[in-house]
Amino acid sequence: MREKKIHYKDINVFITCSLCNGYLIDAATIPECLHTFCKTCIAAYLENDEEDNTRCPKCDSVIDHVNPWRVLVFDRTLQSIAYKLVPHLYKEEIERQIAYYKERDLSYPPSLVEKLQEKRDEEEQQIIPANSDLHIYDDQVAICIDTKTKDLQPLPRKFIICSSNATVTHLKKLLAKMIFQDPCQYRKIDIYLDEQILGKDHTMRFISLTKWRHKMPPICLTYGIASD
């Protein structure tokens, strides 16, 4: 399958505020029509007595006659997408807010303090010692894996903690090494979740979020002889 290049002009409409024509900052969505604006932009609109501030500024849908503020929803998902698609947007927004409060000699609001703490945490995670195993800094996933049939011996220890980026193939190679003393024999093994064979490229994070999302850890898997 050929890769398709996506241009900013094709996606800007989804991550841009129609009130300021800039990229979304603290995206706030109106549930009735799902139109999204910058938090400060929609706030200024709702507080403007000269406008009919009980209707969406984009489609004129009724928001709330009594308290329009009450129904606005902070869209974390869309905001996260905007920050990922537009380089430096998050960093520049934090710097702009810091400058604003410093110029006015004001204390930082809790929302900005939280963003600064997140930024510091990200910077600390990026400082990785040389010659170290990078996967120890990944999120960890707990797995319970047991034999599905008597064809393969059970493991002496069936509980495993591994990187969330580990794939089913990595797990199969570990099993092959423990059972056959040869990781190259991993193709002889299938790994199951609820009687379904897992794809070789599925990561533990993907399995956790899609196939085990409403269940408590550990993720319970079984293994058996691969089908022909």
pLDDT digits (tens, 9 = 90+) for 90-133: 888 888 888 888 888 888 888 777 777 777 766 655 555 555 55
Q: Do residues 75 and 164 share a domain?
A: no
Cis amide leading into 218 (omega within 30): yes
What pLDDT is stored for residue 193 in this prediction? 93
Contacts for 129 with CB less than 8 Å, ≥ 6 apart: none
131: left (phi over 0), alpha (psi -120 to 50) or beta: left
Q: What percent of the chain has pLDDT over 70?
A: 85
Look-up: residue for tokens 């549930």?
31
Range of the domain at 34: 8-109
- What is the count of structural domains for the chain? 2
Question: Do residues 150 and 185 make contact, with C-beta atoms less than 8 angstroms apart?
Answer: no
Q: What is the pLDDT of residue 52?
A: 61
Q: What is the pLDDT of residue 107?
A: 84
- pLDDT for residue 216: 87
State the CATH number of the domain containing residue 104: 3.30.40.10
pLDDT at position 110 is: 80
- Same domain membership, residue 104 and residue 19: yes
Q: Which helix (H) or strand (E) holds 123?
A: helix 110-126
Q: Which two tokens stand for residue 184?
A: 């190259």
Look at residue 122 and tell me if it is in a domain: no
Spans of the chain, pLDDT less than 50: none
pLDDT at position 117 is 73
The pLDDT value recorded for residue 100 is 86
Which among 184, 189, 200, 199 has a CA at the least distance from the CA of 222? 189
Residue 115: inside a domain: no
Question: What integer pLDDT is reported at residue 102 of this predicted model?
Answer: 87
Domain termination site, one of 66, 94, 109: 109
